[in-house]
């Protein structure tokens, strides 16, 4: 399994979303317009991923996005960002913060759910020289819809 970021059309999105929901993946769909500032971004993710608490900083966001136990989904997670080409920020500083914090964090989530989760949740077997008994990797794909 390779977690990835894809760019798709609106037409492809509907078919894909229906397929993923039918297969029982957790699917979150957000509009890019709400990502115009850090507060909107953090609040939207808190709601969409049903965080136990609203997050107010990117460290907390990353902690929650690399947990997600409360969603009780063994298959994985999909984030759909609609109208990605229309992301606009209220200020240059917000644009830089979103680019540096938010999107680099998203790439980290892909890797975490693909591979790192087995090491973080398991233990090192010195004799076998491998991590054991960790949680299984899960799908975490991001779809950017034009």
- pLDDT (tens digit per residue) in 36-88: 778 888 999 999 999 999 899 989 999 999 999 999 999 999 999 998 877 66
Per DSSP (E only), the strands in 1-146 are: 5-8, 26-31, 76-82, 123-125, 130-132, 139-145
Check residue 88 and give its pLDDT.
62
The answer to whether residues 98 and 35 touch, using CB atoms and an 8 Å cutoff, is yes
Identify which of 58, 56, 51 has the alpha carbon closest to the alpha carbon of residue 101. Answer: 58
pLDDT tens per residue across span 97-132? 666 666 777 888 999 999 898 878 877 788 888 777
Domain with residue 113: its CATH number is 3.30.370.10
Check residue 15 and give its pLDDT.
96
Torsion, Cα of 16, 19, 21, 27 (10° steps): -20
Check residue 128 and give its pLDDT.
86
Q: Is 82 helix (H, G, I), strand (E, B) or coil?
A: strand
Q: What is the pTM of this model?
A: 0.84
Expressed as residue numbers, the domain containing 80 is 5-145
Total domains in the chain come to 1
């Amino acid at each position: 399994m390779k977690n990835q970021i894809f760019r798709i059309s609106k037409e492809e999105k509907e078919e894909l979303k229906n397929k993923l929901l039918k297969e029982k993946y957790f699917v979150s769909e957000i509009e890019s317009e709400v990502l115009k500032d850090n507060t909107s971004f953090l609040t939207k993710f808190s709601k969409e991923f049903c965080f136990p608490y609203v997050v107010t900083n990117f460290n907390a966001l990353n902690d929650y996005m690399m947990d997600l136990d409360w969603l009780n989904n063994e298959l994985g997670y999909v984030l759909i960002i609609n109208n990605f080409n229309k992301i606009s920020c209220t200020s240059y500083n917000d644009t830089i913060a979103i680019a540096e914090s938010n999107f680099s964090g998203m790439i980290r989530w892909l890797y975490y759910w693909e591979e790192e989760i087995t090491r973080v949740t398991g233990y090192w077997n010195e004799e076998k020289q491998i991590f054991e008994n960790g949680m299984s990797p899960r799908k975490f794909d991001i779809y950017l819809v034009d």
